[in-house]
Structure 1
């Protein structure tokens, strides 16, 4: 059976990472699991996209990271939102809602 997970666009992935971290610090794998679970198993975040996105967001000052120990007792990098990250999440969420509403209007009109 083919994997039916929906693919994520880069900007969407960034927003979903920020949202996942709005509930508290997580390590990379936990971010991916949070997105998968909260999407009802519809969205799968690939490792090859996740870690570059986390590093990009950290470099932009939207996330901070520190090393800690995961629930599996393994060393892991935990990410958390900065104040700038929270501001960015609010802005991206508003833009996404406007965008998705506009797309829905077009689709419903056809």
Structure 2
């Protein structure tokens, strides 16, 4: 299981709350303790997720400002997110069991 740097899971989870533009995704991920995502990481992942059908994107006009691209989770992306959540829960449970204080056994 490879969770180190699983930015894809963070992006999908963020989009599960509703459509968002890139800056908003970055702001939400960076608002988590210990998380940091740069534009140089975000946009290639968004483009790949879009090409894989995990998300869709559309340009949304703004009054008095340039249009911005808004990303939305697809049904396939929701399924992928659920797989990632299940994998994470299994991984986290295993790590927690290993890190728990061992019971002292008399030999």
Tell me, which stretches of 5 or more residues in structure 2 are unaligned? 103-107
Match of 2:28 in 1: 34
Higher normalized helix content (fraction of residues)? 1
Q: Write out aligned runs for 1:1-110 (5 A).
A: 9=5, 12-37=6-31, 39-40=32-33, 42-69=34-61, 73-108=65-100
Question: Is the partner of 1:74 in helix, strand or coil?
Answer: strand
Mark the structure with the bigger radius of gyration: 2
When the two structures are superposed, what TM-score results if normalisation uses the length of structure 1?
A: 0.79
> Is the alpha carbon distance of 1:14 and 1:76 closer, same or farther for their aligned partners in structure 2, counting shifts above 3 Å?
same
Q: Give the paired residue count.
A: 99
How much is the aligned-residue C-alpha RMSD, in angstroms? 2.1
